[in-house]
Amino acid sequence: MIVQASGVAWYVYGVVEAGTAPPGVETLTVGPLAALVNRVGLDEFGEEAVRERLEDAAWLEEKVRAHEGVLEAALSTGAVVPFRFLTIYRDEDELRGFLAMRGAELRSVLDHVRGKVEIGVKAYADTAALEREVAGRSAAVAELDAQIALAQSGRAYLLQRRRDEAARAESARLVAEIARDSHARLLAAADEGAANPLQPRELSGREEQMVLNGAYLVPVGDDGLARELGALAEHYAPLGISFEQTGPWPPYNFVPRDLGVDDAA
């Protein structure tokens, strides 16, 4: 939650085990835990100020990159519980109280993610290539193509519309099947996994249709997920499906979403 006030507050990036914070990052330690923090002015991070700055793409990109940079640095030195972007506490006492009250849960999460990283996998479909491939495999589409070849122009037009609708429907069915199969196979190669909402083209930056937006928790150095991803890419390439791997990341998708939020100001 964001603060509306004047003065200074505590921006929290995440929580690590005491003594494992990366160099150059300020911490606030309570027992065995250390919050990764930055003291910020509420003239910039107060509720009204942030609401205005969220419209400023350059400011937003700078702050998001800074947030992610601290967490990625922390990941290189040990386990980390990443907090949401713009998690802010009003003062030191409030933050200390949170760390004390939720300490057992935070330690449990650190134990759970220790020695593990998050790997992102996105799958994309070249819909034109997929529909062409479907046309060659679908008996229903092949039958309509045969009818179109023999039909008069008026009827051929109607048949063509039916044929295109059938190809799109079969492509959509196949895309859903590919997404389910890919997620299941990647999940089997990971400790945990999550299928996140698909991104539209304007967010993904790709012309192809996103069909899987997965996150997978794997042990550091384990290449099982990468091998499975390579097998999937080879298997589905003829259908116009491509895969993109990102990471390693802090375990954003594998910590309780309310940590650092419900007690923040």
What is the model's pLDDT at position 136?
Answer: 65
**Mean pLDDT, residues 156-162 taken together:** 74
What is the full DSSP assignment across 30-50? Answer: ETTEEEEEEEEEHHHHBHHHH
Q: Which helix (H) or strand (E) holds 149?
A: helix 139-150
Query: Taking a C-beta distance cutoff of 8 angstroms, is the pair 126, 242 a contact?
Result: yes
- Distance (Å, rounded) from C-alpha 200 to C-alpha 140? 30
Q: Are residues 241 and 130 in the same domain?
A: yes
1 has pLDDT over 60: no
Are 40 and 144 members of one domain?
A: no
- Comparing 241 with 263, the larger pLDDT belongs to 241
pLDDT one-digit tens code per residue, 174-196: 889 999 999 999 999 999 999 99
Identify whether 96 is part of a domain.
Answer: yes
Is 195 inside any structural domain? yes
**Cα distance between residue 58 and residue 122, in whole Å:** 26
pLDDT digits (tens, 9 = 90+) for 92-116: 999 999 999 999 999 999 999 999 9
Can you give the pTM of this predicted structure?
Answer: 0.82
Residue 260 has pLDDT above 70, yes or no: no
32-64: per-residue pLDDT in tens?
999 999 999 988 888 888 888 888 889 999 999
Given 114, 142, 166, the domain boundary residue is 114
Helix, coil or strand: residue 118: strand
Angle, vertex CA 143, rays to CA 137 and CA 148, nearest 5: 120
Burial class (CB within 10 angstroms; exposed 0-12, middle 13-18, buried 19+) of 91? middle
10, pLDDT greater than 90 = yes
For residues 11 and 63, the answer to whether their CB atoms sit within 8 Å is no
Position 1 in a domain: no
Does 133 share its domain with 174? yes
Q: Is the pLDDT of residue 152 over 80?
A: no
d(CA 118, CA 28): 25
What band does 2 get if pLDDT is binned at 50, 70 and 90?
Answer: very low
Residues 177 and 134 in one domain: yes
In the numeric block, the tokens 């942030």 are attached to 50
Asked if 168 and 131 touch (Cβ cutoff 8 Å), the reply is yes
Last residue within a domain, chosen from 72, 88, 114: 114
The yes-or-no verdict on residue 263 having pLDDT over 50 is no
Residue 40 placed within a domain: yes
Question: Which domain does 156 fall in, by range?
Answer: 118-252
What is the rounded distance in angstroms from the CA atom of residue 227 to the CA atom of residue 12?
Answer: 36
126, 88: one domain: no
Tokens 């679908």 label which residue? 138
Do 98 and 166 have their domain in common? no
Average pLDDT over residues 228-251: 94
Domain boundary among 61, 86, 114: 114
Amino acid at 34: A
